[in-house]
A and B are shown apart, each in its own frame.
Chain A
Amino acid sequence: MELVTPSIGLVFWTSVAFICLLIILRKFAWKPILGAIHEREQSIDEALNKAELAKQEMARLTSQNQDLMQQARAERDEILKEAKTLKDSILNEAKKQAQTEGAKLIEKAKIEIENQKKAALAEVKGQVSTLSLEIAERVLRAQLDDKTKQEALVANLLKDVELN
């Protein structure tokens, strides 16, 4: 079977060629190629890790930001709320004050009116009394023009006095 009998020449040349190929490739090809691939893989790994870290940092910062935002919002809300209550209280107070002030004013006005009324009434009373005195004087004068009438009146008055 010639086909399955290795010939010495080919065995020799294959051995020589293969060993030379192995040595040359190991020195000039596999070492630099595998080294470069390994290095690149490491740098890629590193870069990926760094990216992952950056992502985490980013996420942390974002969450921090969000927290801050939330805090700020809450603070704002609180401030607004406070302001509102403050406003309400101020308003209420002002209202109350206004009311009391108004009430006081009304009270004062009432008193004033009362006083004015009293004064007016007093004046009216005075005028009425002077008017009535004048009327009475005139009536009396008219009545007491003649002597008889005067004497009758005095007699009348005296009669009253006697009664007393």
Chain B
Amino acid sequence: MDCNRVFVSKVKRLTIVFTLLIAFLSIKIDTFAQVDSAVVPVDSAVAASAHAVSGEHGTKAEHGEEKFEPTKVIMEHIADSHVWHLWGHTSLPLPVILYTPNGLEVFSSGNFHHGEHDYNGKYNNYRLEEDHIKVVGADGKIDEEASKSILDFSITKNVAAMFVAILVILVVFISVAGAYKKRVGKAPKGLQSLIEPIIVFVRDDIAKPNIGHKYNKFMPYLLTVFFFIWFNNLLGLVPIFPGGANVTGNIALTFVMALGTLIIVNINGNKYYWKHILLPDVPFWLWPLMVVVEVIGIISKPFALMVRLFANITAGHIIVLSLISLIFIFETLAIAPVSVAFVLFMDVLELLVAFLQAFIFTLLTALFIGMAVEEHH
């Protein structure tokens, strides 16, 4: 389908843009680091001279607040975490579940005291370093070999936020389903009338035109994907607990979603679909090339889905946080109205993006399913 080609090319463009953004950010980290190292000596020199001139100034410089690093703050938010930061110095400790070669280890991340303390587990000693759990050797240093052998199945901030979203989804949809049972054949009411048009939209504008008459079989998957992504996107926009986690902007989640699409598309592919891939209608000498291209095509479609969702949501979070960071970079309240205005604008835009990305993911999944189950005559 032509539609698909257009989408794939768009995804490629987006991927390039996002790679550039990541590259830019990583360069920025270096420059900031350089600037910091350049600034600190000056500061210390000034402090020293000030100290020499007057004791009062010196003490002020010593009490000076820690340097604000926007890249670090933003990356900390974008990445996953073992604690859920609530406000100020208050955080919610989350359970740590480690799969070690000797067995499972379960303990609270509060034991790390924000990475300041090591935790003596049943089998190993653990240390939280840059939000990664590492095994500490007998010499008090990190044992990289042993660290690689443990698998981290912790309920991290993203997992917890995802559970919250799932809880919300379950409450909403089971109550809506109850409303349908209670009011059989009547007009929708309340939450039901809010949700019903969206369900009908997914059915009539996503599933039916792209899949055709077999759409009914795929409706549960499409609806679940749509609302799962949408609710997670929306909760990600809520700045306070239990929202604010970058769940759909995490590559692991989008990877699972895309993997689901990959599996559901390929196990439902009919003989025409597989013939198109394995025995394409080309001259024999092109055959090896075409099969490779087609097999790459199978992978690239869900890959595009994975990257698109991840990049869009992460980019939104980065922009909002960057705008907020401006206040702290300029260290003035005067910039706050500008920042807030821009953040407001971005948040409204992100509301649209939240819906749009859920829509596009579902639409493309439906499109791929439609291509796989299409009957050729």
Given contacts A13-B162, A14-B162, A21-B170, contact A6 B251 (CB under 8 A): yes
- Pair B256/A14 contact, Cβ less than 8 Å: yes
B274 at the interface (CB under 8 A from A): no
Chain A residues near B357: list those with CB within 8 A: none
Q: Kindly specify which of B49-57, B179-187, B337-345 makes contact with the partner chain.
A: B179-187
CA gap between A17 and B170 in the complex, in Å? 12
A9, A20, A21: the one within 8 Å of B153 (CB): A9
B181, B224, B256: the one within 8 Å of A15 (CB): B256
Chain B residues near A11: list those with CB within 8 A: 252, 255-256
Chain A residues near B181: list those with CB within 8 A: 32, 36
Instruction: Report the interface size class on chain A.
Output: 35 or more
Chain B residues near A40: list those with CB within 8 A: 185
A7 at the interface (CB under 8 A from B): yes
Chain B residues near A37: list those with CB within 8 A: 180, 196, 199-200, 203
Supply 15 further A-B pairs (C-beta < 8 A) apart from A6-B250, A18-B224, A36-B185: A3-B22, A3-B78, A4-B251, A10-B158, A13-B153, A14-B253, A18-B260, A21-B224, A21-B228, A25-B224, A33-B177, A36-B180, A36-B181, A36-B184, A40-B185
- Pair A24/B170 contact, Cβ less than 8 Å: yes
**Can you list 23 A-B pairs with a CB-CB distance of less than 8 A?**
A6-B250, A7-B80, A8-B153, A10-B159, A11-B252, A12-B153, A13-B153, A13-B159, A13-B162, A14-B159, A17-B162, A18-B228, A21-B170, A21-B228, A22-B221, A25-B170, A26-B220, A29-B177, A34-B199, A34-B216, A37-B180, A37-B200, A40-B185
CB distance from B77 to the nearest CB of A (A): 12
| CB-CB contacts below 8 Å: B17-67 with A | 22
A8 nearest in chain B by CB position: B151
CA gap between A32 and B179 in the complex, in Å? 10
| CB-CB contacts below 8 Å: B277-320 with A | 310, 314
Given contacts A33-B176, A37-B200, contact A6 B159 (CB under 8 A): no
A15 nearest in chain B by CB position: B256
A1, A8, A17, A34: the one within 8 Å of B203 (CB): A34
Chain A residues near B260: list those with CB within 8 A: 18
CB distance from A145 to the nearest CB of B (A): 147
Chain A residues near B228: list those with CB within 8 A: 18, 21
B158 nearest in chain A by CB position: A10
CB distance from A34 to the nearest CB of B (A): 6
A10, A14, A20, A32: the one within 8 Å of B180 (CB): A32
Chain B residues near A22: list those with CB within 8 A: 220-221, 224
A14, A31, A34, A36: the one within 8 Å of B252 (CB): A14
Given contacts A10-B250, A11-B256, A22-B221, contact A33 B173 (CB under 8 A): yes
Chain A residues near B310: list those with CB within 8 A: 4
A143 at the interface (CB under 8 A from B): no
- Pair A25/B162 contact, Cβ less than 8 Å: no
- Pair A7/B220 contact, Cβ less than 8 Å: no
CA gap between A6 and B183 in the complex, in Å? 44
CB distance from A128 to the nearest CB of B (A): 123
A11 nearest in chain B by CB position: B252
- Pair B219/A34 contact, Cβ less than 8 Å: yes
Name the residue among A21, A33, A34 with the largest chain B CB count within 10 angstroms: A33
- Pair A10/B80 contact, Cβ less than 8 Å: yes
Chain B residues near A5: list those with CB within 8 A: 251
Chain A residues near B170: list those with CB within 8 A: 21, 24-25
CB distance from B107 to the nearest CB of A (A): 15
A22 nearest in chain B by CB position: B224
A160 at the interface (CB under 8 A from B): no
B257 at the interface (CB under 8 A from A): yes
A6, A13, A25: the one within 8 Å of B155 (CB): A13
B163 nearest in chain A by CB position: A17
CA gap between A24 and B203 in the complex, in Å? 19
B154 at the interface (CB under 8 A from A): yes
A20 nearest in chain B by CB position: B166
CA gap between A125 and B150 in the complex, in Å? 174
A49 at the interface (CB under 8 A from B): no
B79 at the interface (CB under 8 A from A): yes
- Pair B314/A3 contact, Cβ less than 8 Å: yes
| CB-CB contacts below 8 Å: B134-185 with A | 151-156, 158-159, 162-163, 166, 169-170, 173-174, 176-177, 180-181, 184-185
CB distance from B181 to the nearest CB of A (A): 6
CA gap between A5 and B310 in the complex, in Å? 12
CA gap between A40 and B220 in the complex, in Å? 19
Interface 1/0 per residue, B115-136 and A, CB below 8 Å: 0000000000000000000000
